[in-house]
Amino acid sequence: MLNVYSIVLSLISITIQSLIFYYIHNLEAVDCNCITDWRHNFIKFMAVFAILLSLTSILLAEKIKPYIAAAMPILMILGLINAYSIYTYVGDLQTTNCLCATKRQPKLNEFLYYWRYFLVVCAFFILIALVGTVYTSLTHKSMPMPMKSSKSMKTLSRTATLKAEL
């Protein structure tokens, strides 16, 4: 069962990703001559993916939890690429003064312009977590069992001998 905190975060994610999808989709108008490179398509794909993932996590919380945990390193890498894409793409739209972005949807453009800085901070923490995960998995060795004291080893040996004699 999901707690209220998880549901609220998922709903916030759905809202923001829907705004991003709307913004990117509006740049595909026939009369819009803004940049449309791989970042445009990647951001659009990630927005849809994040919306579906959030909806799925709300509806199938316990059933999907192990799969999300297993896919976390991949999701982290995709998140880093998405943060880079949004940061550079929205910045390029500002620099080239794309009218479809700056004039037709000025409030959303301004929101995403500042949102990209928040994503850079998040990407920094994701990168730290990813490096920590990789480091831990590469250096993790099975822990040896603690040695018993020589006194308890003698007791175990005598017990084993007595049982063998019976």
Give pLDDT, residue 35: 86
Give pLDDT, residue 49: 94
Question: Which residue segment(s) compose the domain that 46 sits in?
Answer: 4-165
In whole angstroms, how far apart are CA 106 and each of 24, 27, 92, 156? Answer: 13, 13, 15, 78
Contact 145, 99 (CB under 8 A): no
Tally of structural domains, the chain = 1
Return averaged pLDDT per consecutive 10 residues of the chain, 166 residues in all.
80 94 89 88 95 88 80 86 92 89 90 90 85 82 52 56 56
pTM of the shown model: 0.72
